[in-house]
Amino acid sequence: DSGVTQTPKHLITATGQRVTLRCSPRSGDLSVYWYQQSLDQGLQFLIQYYNGEERAKGNILERFSAQQFPDLHSELNLSSLELGDSALYFCASSVGTQIDTQYFGPGTRLTVL
């Protein structure tokens, strides 16, 4: 158990809908990262937050957004969902601003029908 929690474990929704994925980092970690893992794209970095502020951006679509709250939990919002958004979404956390030792959560499996 990495200490990173993610909810829900599974999410099934329809095209055009909007969903919110939630992540709680390990105790003491200030950085949260979001990744997308699909069969054809592997693990893709989406975005990093550090202590409530956006720190780094990867291949995140404009339909996706994220935020980190004062209690350090983070939410990833996915809107106008398309079939191709079906994937595993992982959250990871680390102590500082610099990308270093990251601990991954168990993931949320999103299925868009």
Is residue 81 within 8 Å of 17, Cβ to Cβ?
A: yes
Q: Is residue 58 near other proteins by the rule CB under 8 A?
A: yes
Q: Is residue 56 near other proteins by the rule CB under 8 A?
A: yes
Q: Is residue 64 near other proteins by the rule CB under 8 A?
A: no
Peptide bond into 70 cis (omega under 30): no
Considering only 74, 85, 107, 110, the residue that binds other proteins (CB under 8 A) is 107
Is residue 103 within 8 Å of 91, Cβ to Cβ?
A: no
Q: Judged by CB, which is closer to other proteins: 2, or 15? A: 2
> Please, what is the minimum distance in Å from the beta carbon of residue 16 to other proteins?
28
Round to whole Å and give the CA distance between 12 and 31.
28
